[in-house]
Structure 1
């Protein structure tokens, strides 16, 4: 299933995409209206959504008539791993990390497909990072690698937009990664049952019509399941938590000349089997 959070006629709720339509969850007594509540309900809600789609009772809204938010509009935790592709490590000149290295993106940075990324007033060093992200579906702790798939609700496309000069203000990188609008996610959440192997997906990033990144998720140093196992040793992971899995080579800061994002451009990240996340770039209002 492709699960979405969408706005239609001034109401924001969850649903599922089938073809060129959103199947509205409204009207089902078994489906929560909001994604976080849906994910917290676990397999019961997943089964209820499947039955709702089969029943044909849900209102069908043309996809081009809705506004897509991030599938999880305000995740409780948004954790992202750095230096997780060998080619990206090489272009940065850094050493391969011994352990997974995570930073936090504040949830207020999250936006959905089609919403504008704003170049901040305080910097023109705005950069893209196309990434696979996954969303936790069960409250969990101390998850072994071979059980990690069971706690993942699904996968989505992420753009870890970064304000490069502010990123370097502190070793945590948090502020430069958390500017408003610097967390595009979407266009939907593809449930884990539809992604048999998240570690063999083509990932590409374009700025306008220029292909900037082209890689495969099999090149990750630490895979999705290893990330779950590592993080869950330290903290409780909860439904709706988002984990971004790192970016491959081709970021703007390492181009000559620099390939920073500029107002008027559009950045697109496409991941095989999931979809395309596209966001225009504008100057901060």
Structure 2
């Protein structure tokens, strides 16, 4: 099941929860099943069962007539760095980590599909990163690896947009990764039962139609159970939190010559089974 948050292009800005089905969206809010995707996450399997039972009665809208929003507003976005063998190998300063490394994207940076992102004046090295991300469905604190997968609600995409010249200056990771709009997520959340093999998902990034990242989660250094169990030893995770899993090789800074995003560009990240997350870059 692909869950989305959407608004109608005509007649208001209210956000609704829906199920994406090809070129259509079935509205869960108007049929009284769920007011938001977060409500679905919190309701877990019981709410998913209600959706399946009542979906036939839900109003259906053409995808062209709605606007997809960020599928969820996470309390925390925690991102794994250097978790693909290929990405570690392309980075001349990287060392193969012996345990996972994490940084945070702030909720204020989260935007949805097709939302323009301004190129900040304070960077000339605006980079892209396709990231396969897990949406937490149950509280996890000091979890064992065996407890992780049953607690994952689903999966989405995150574009970890980064200002490299800011990020690498005095190790300013948090500032370099949290300009306005630097965390596009979406276009949907695929429930975990519909994606039984998250460790073998093809990922791509296209900049103005040219493919620059072409990898797979099969290249992970640390598996989802390893990543999230490790993280939960330090930080309690709550339903709706997003944990990203790093990016494959091909980021802009390590292209030869380097490729950075500028006003007028369009970046698309894609994952098999999830879809395409498109972000236009505009002048600041």
Distance 1:64 1:224 in 2: 35
Gaps spanning 5+ residues in structure 1: where?
Answer: none
Equivalent in the alignment of 2:74: 75
How many residues in Structure 1 have an aligned counterpart in Structure 2?
280
Structure 1 residue 46 corresponds to structure 2 residue 52: no
**Normalising to structure 2: TM-score of the pair?**
0.95
Structure 1 residue 172 displacement after superposition: 5.8
Equivalent in the alignment of 1:16: 19
1:10-54 CA distances to partner (integer Å, 9 max, x unpaired)? 21121111121111112334x33122222112222221112221x
Equivalent in the alignment of 1:84: 83
Q: Is the 8 A contact 1:103 1:172 kept in 2?
A: no
Where do residues 107-126 of structure 1 align in structure 2 (5 Å cutoff)? 107-126=107-126
Where do residues 18-33 of structure 1 align in structure 2 (5 Å cutoff)? 18-29=21-32, 31-33=33-35
Question: Secondary structure of 1:138's partner?
Answer: coil
Distance 1:229 1:170 in 2: 30
1:88-122 CA distances to partner (integer Å, 9 max, x unpaired)? 11111211011100000011111111111221122
Distance 2:145 2:204 in 1: 27
1:103-151 CA distances to partner (integer Å, 9 max, x unpaired)? 0001111111111122112222100001101100111222221231111
Where do residues 129-148 of structure 1 align in structure 2 (5 Å cutoff)? 129-148=129-148
Equivalent in the alignment of 1:222: 222
Distance 1:123 1:189 in 2: 31
Question: Secondary structure of 2:57's partner?
Answer: coil
Question: Secondary structure of 1:269's partner?
Answer: strand
Question: Secondary structure of 1:75's partner?
Answer: coil
Distance 1:261 1:172 in 2: 20
Structure 1 residue 155 corresponds to structure 2 residue 155: yes
Gaps spanning 5+ residues in structure 2: where?
Answer: none
1:225-280 CA distances to partner (integer Å, 9 max, x unpaired)? 21111111122211110011101111111122220011111111111111111111
Q: Is the 8 A contact 1:3 1:15 kept in 2?
A: yes
